[in-house]
Amino acid sequence: MRPSWDEYFMEIANTVKKRSTCLRRQVGAVIVKDNRILTTGYNGVPPKMRHCLDIGCLRQELNIPSGQRHELCRALHAEQNAIIQAAKYGISIEGATIYVTAQPCIICAKQIIASGIKKIVFSGDYPDEFSLEMIKESGIEIVRFNQL
């Protein structure tokens, strides 16, 4: 059976997340416009930095709960990396859709809002109700993807 567009792009996001170097959570993101992939991203450290897989996770060592103290993480989130790739290569994401394997956190939500993305499709939970409030207030369409 042929997958729907949402199924197709979420499956790709699930493949992208396999490149993650995070010890706690693997997340993948795909930015799409007119059913064409513009960029992808996964959570991991900026280029030329040591990966958490290699040196450990400060957040894990300090027992910091998920969704808190983002500043103590070496990694960029998948959404951030996908948006950064678009900026780096001069790709407009105005009016695009982002597919993410977890609900965006507040930091990513603000970047998604500011970037001009018009729709978020996500599949996994994240403990951040404030991000959902901000997304709803912004008028961006947000859809929880339920895998079949």
57 annotated to bind ligand? no
More confident residue, 86 or 127: 86
CB atoms under 10 Å from CB of 20, counted, come to 23
Q: Is 79 a residue of the active site?
A: yes
Task: Give the chain's domains with CATH numbers.
Answer: 5-144 (3.40.140.10)
The residue length of the chain stands at 148
Cα–chain center distance at 132: 14
3-state secondary structure of 6: helix
Tens digit of each residue's pLDDT (9 = 90 or more) over 66-115: 888 988 999 999 999 999 999 999 999 999 999 999 999 999 999 999 99
CB atoms under 10 Å from CB of 51, counted, come to 14
108 annotated to bind ligand? yes
Query: Taking the complete model, does pTM exceed 0.85, yes or no?
Result: yes
Candidate list 79, 94, 133, 141, residue with the active-site label: 79
51 annotated to bind ligand? no
